[in-house]
Amino acid sequence: MITTNNFVNELDLALQEKHKGEIRQKIKDKGLCAFVFTLGCQQNEADSERIRGVLREVGYKITENEEKADLLIVNTCAIREHAERRALSIIGRFKHYKAKNPDIIIGVCGCMTAQEHRANQIKHSYHYVDFTFGTSMLYRLPEFINNALNKGKRRFLLDSEKPQIAEGLEIERESNYKAWVSIMYGCNNFCTYCIVPYVRGRERSRNMKDVLDEVKDLAKRGYKDITLLGQNVNSYGKDLEGKPTIADLLNEIAKIEGDFMIHLMTSHPRDASSEMIEALSKNPHSANHFHLPLQSGSDAILKKMNRHYDKQRYLSIVDELREKNKGITFTTDIIVGFPGETEEDFNQTVEIVKKVRFDSIFSFIYSPRKGTPAYEMEQVPEEIKHKRYDYLCQVQNEISNEINQTYVGKIIRVLVDGKSKNNENVYTSRTEGNKIVHFECDNDYTGEFINVKITKADTFALYGEKI
């Protein structure tokens, strides 16, 4: 079932095993700690779980306290300028740890460091950083750490021309009831605003068997919430032999026993097929929630964004999903202030938001990304972008509030996430539709499904009591 060149070969993986053995010897009995800071999306969260898995495997203790760490890794994001600024400020903060203790190892990875200009910037302006590497080089972490332990030359490695998948890496999952399962990596879409295809390479899918084995194992271990991850999960399998589709994968997952729900993150409307929608509707594990990035409600802007659908097509996918999956909740991503966006274009986005009535939206002010086509286009002035963003939030907040009020009086199943930060007897949970529910309870049901009666709602959450 595999196209072999999708995968890192066994010799390369064996070499990493050798480095792991050497690190284990070097740090044995020293009680060294490692700290991993993660910025960005779920894909990065998933990558950090692999990083922690490898670090623990070679003998580091994982710490949440950066001041105690002997090895510090920053897993960066590049999606917007703000994310890069945050990464640089965190890397900056690590400087004094190295000044105090020169044996400390500092590494930076993720989307930001997959860009040549950023890798160079770190090389030249952050002299205390020992290594950086691009997203597809994660499997070589043992080699980079071993080199740093040997006081070897600083390393700054971008992605390979043709990034590959490394199967079998250890994963240290943050949660024992919620899990990310990457089903594919990279993106072929080249939306004109987006840096992802440049920092995560072309689409490559994991073998269906590897994905299914992982999901089966998680279900057996009692995981309740499994998110199938990829930049564009709807094009899963196109590069595999036999071309299995996301619908095939969902149909196989449907056969797995256990009380767990499946989320998809993220779907591109361009590839949302009727087969996929059908497979979701028949799947007993499907969480009745769909995240379908709209980006803009203007056909002219969608075209300039290179999105390959228009608002009519978008609306018809929403209709089909709603028809086949009663009560499904919708979320979306919207970019405000894309180059050339006129007031009329923006109004069309607002119109779609009012028409679809999303449960919630993730809206972003367009951030120019160096190296992408939109970076070169004529930009919308900052104050206009901010004004539109504020207005869109206002419109959506009203809709979210109205939808949430309809839950008052209903009994819904939620997955408990743990104690609320602000209040001792209050717990936080999520509905299958991904809505936040706070409820009072004397017992701790973290990681379990329970039923809650909703008594109150506002724009951002539902409130209730366990029944």
Interface ranges with ligand SF4 (CB under 6 A): 187, 189-191, 194, 196-197, 231-232, 268
d(CA 152, CA 28): 20
Could you tell me the smallest distance in angstroms from the CB atom of residue 448 to ligand SF4? 34
CA 136 to CA 440: how far, in whole Å? 44
Considering beta carbons, is residue 19 or 118 the nearer one to ligand 5AD?
118
Which ranges of 150-273 would DSSP assign to H, the alpha helix? 196-200, 208-220, 246-254
Nearest distance from C-beta of residue 11 to ligand SF4, angstroms: 31
**Residue 367 contacts which entry, ligand 5AD, ligand SF4, none (Cβ below 5-8 A, type-dependent):** ligand 5AD
Closest CA to 156 of 135, 138, 130: 130
Residue 189: contacted member of ligand SF4, ligand 5AD, none (CB under 5 to 8 Å, by partner type):
ligand SF4
For residue 77, which phi and psi values (nearest 5 degrees)?
Answer: -125, 155
Longest dimension (CA), the chain: 65
* Residues lying near ligand 5AD in the complex (CB under 6 A): 79-80, 193-194, 293, 295, 333, 335, 364, 366-367, 369
Residue 179 binding partner per list ligand 5AD, ligand SF4, none, with a CB distance cut-off of 5 to 8 Å that depends on partner kind: none
Residues 6+ apart with CB under 8 A from 166: 7, 8, 13, 138, 139
Picked from ligand SF4, ligand 5AD, none, the partner binding residue 197 (CB below 5 to 8 A depending on kind) is ligand SF4
Minimum CB–partner distance for residue 110 and ligand 5AD (Å): 14
232 binds, among ligand 5AD, ligand SF4, none (CB under 5 to 8 A by kind): ligand SF4
What is the rounded distance in angstroms from the CA atom of residue 169 to the CA atom of residue 49? 10
Distances 387 to 337, 367, 393, 406 between C-alpha atoms, Å: 10, 15, 10, 30
- Compare residues 258 and 373 and give the one whose CB is closer to ligand SF4: 373
- Number of residue whose CB is nearest ligand 5AD: 333
Length of the chain counted residue by residue: 467
How far is CA 177 from each of CA 57, 62, 244, 290, rounded to the nearest angstrom?
22, 20, 28, 20
Closest CB to ligand 5AD among 283 and 367? 367
Counting other chains too, the contacts that 426-429 makes at CB distance below 8 Å and 24 or more residues apart are none
Nearest CB to ligand SF4, comparing residues 155 and 200: 200
Phi–psi pair at 426, nearest 5 degrees: -105, 135
- Out of ligand SF4, ligand 5AD, none, which partner does residue 366 contact, by CB within 5 to 8 A per kind? ligand 5AD
Could you give the angle at the alpha carbon of 434 between the alpha carbons of 431 and 436, nearest 5°? 70
Q: Which is nearer to ligand 5AD, 226 or 294 (CB)?
A: 294
Which of residues 202 and 410 has its CB atom nearest to ligand 5AD in the complex? 202
**Which one, 114 or 149, has the nearer CB to ligand 5AD?**
114
80: partner contacted, choices ligand 5AD, ligand SF4, none (Cβ within 5-8 A by kind): ligand 5AD
- Least distance CB 197 / ligand 5AD (angstroms): 11
